[in-house]
Structure 1
Amino acid sequence: MPDTAPPASRRYLLVSPCRNEAAYLRRTLDAVVAQTERPELWIVVDDGSTDETPAILADYAARHEWIRVVPKPDRGHRAVGPGVIEAFEAGLAAAPPLDGFDYLCKLDLDLDLPPAYFATLMDRLEADPRLGTCSGKPWYRTASGAWISEKCGDEASVGMTKFYRTSCFREIGGFVREVNWDSIDCHKARQLGWTARSWDDPEIRIEHLRPMGSSQRGIVSGRRRAGYAQYFMGTDPLYFTATALYRMTRPPYVIGGLAMLWGYGESWLAGKPRQKDAALIAFIRRYQRRALTVGKRRALEEVEARQAGLQGPGTP
């Protein structure tokens, strides 16, 4: 049953940064409570909420001893990227040492999850010793009720539910405090010999209650921010252009891809700083340029084969 302690070899820690999520919060809380294998501990960091979020969290924490709420002062606004990771790290700091957990997940509170979501991910991690991080795929519903895939690549776990083997998370050094942290981490894992995956299987399909790429100031602002995020990561310009052109075929049609190009281009023209890991930038660009010539699937297979000697069956 969900409130039964998990097996010793399948202990997982959830850490959830949140701010003003009253509109979605109960859906996620109920989905986690209903999991076939519940977390060992779930730390929810209330990042200065001013709506009903604190009262809802207090209610669930009172009923489930494995849910713990960590409050943070109100900074006055929602902060994507650095703010989210700052809140996540506050949750990690409030948790017992990671050595006590087999797995770690950064989980957003605007999701609905199938009942066997975490159990299925752990099964797949146990079956593949090189798999360092994984997730299902996010979908969302439009106002008309249409069911739309967010079309995330297979080579990364998605940012709203980053499920990690704790040994891999420690080796990559955690998440960077900047936008695109949720892509940089998977590239870093691959550089170190791990693999990262997401699957669009029904038993782990996620409903994203707030669509990816939107922002508190509108979806165009979110796409523009995504362009800056790719610039910060060090994405190859030609590869990014191809990505933005593809995004023009997804809602919001055309304008979303144009906003991404705007965000990347203005960052380049302004000479904004990029991430400081020059070796990782070179690693990312080699993969991206290869993907343009042979396709992402083959490029991924090649880079994973090349890095395979860095991790193996004996990896804890």
Structure 2
Amino acid sequence: MTLSISGSTQVYLIPGDPVRNVRLPRMFNAVFERFEIDAVLLPMQVPRRDFAVFFSSAFLARNVRGMLLAPPHKALVIDLLDGCGLIGRVAGSVNVVRRTDDNRLEGDLFDGEGLIGALDHYRIPFRGKRVLVLGAGVSAAAVGVALVEGGEVNGAAHVAFFDTSAGKAAGVAAKLDAFFDADVSAVDSNAPEGYDLVVNATPLGLNEGDALPVDVARMERHAAVFDILLRGQPTPLVQAARARGLNAQAGFEMLIQQMPHYLRYFGHEQVARALSKDADFLREHIYPPAMQAEIRQPLRYHAP
């Protein structure tokens, strides 16, 4: 890819710590090139302690139009914004910030839309189903919001949160119930019996030797797994579930499905519509070689 950068190029930044493995620059810059948008997304290595100063200073540059947020900064930006979408407020984090025409800084969170799009892409039922969310951090909260808000057609999911910190899971469940009057709860076990879908929103699987976040052997025969992790895919959890014949999918598709929302948020409506119809060129950018075949055969792990 050859980027042509000039004085008229609009700049988007993605601060994180670390940023070595972030995938969004490759994806956004591929989109900018393909659709001839004079813009660039640049990764920025920013320690947590310096983030507030960096954030405010970066937007002093008038050609900085927005940011994507990588960990650990998603939860740090809320108090620095002029406005924030509902899902971002509920989850307590955002992953995208834009500068408006009247110079306000607005943020929102599209992790949930990415999850719903990925589940629909893989034809994993969740509407009206029982879902066990493993973890109760920022990502888990976004997942929970999406599951209870994304099921209007056939009913919201019935969501249970499990975290090794019981109070943390109860806090997320209570927050969702307060905002949405949803069927959510905190459970004291990660036992998967009775659930139709298990979503891993913990870091288990990032490091060699990590225990599985759930006992796959105890899952229902019709159940599915979605592991939101990006590094190390397919993770031991995904591999174990697939070995049982379950529909188990990696987190890459969440990024793909968020892209139209990001582009629309930044004002590129036509590009967002085009990506909603065909984003395989982005999948080729971020799916590892071992998983490239899944771009063409995304449903081969469906359980009977």
- Tell me if both proteins adopt one fold, taking TM over 0.5 as the criterion: no
Larger relative helix fraction: 1
Please report the TM-score for the alignment, with normalisation by the length of structure 1: 0.28
Please report the TM-score for the alignment, with normalisation by the length of structure 2: 0.29
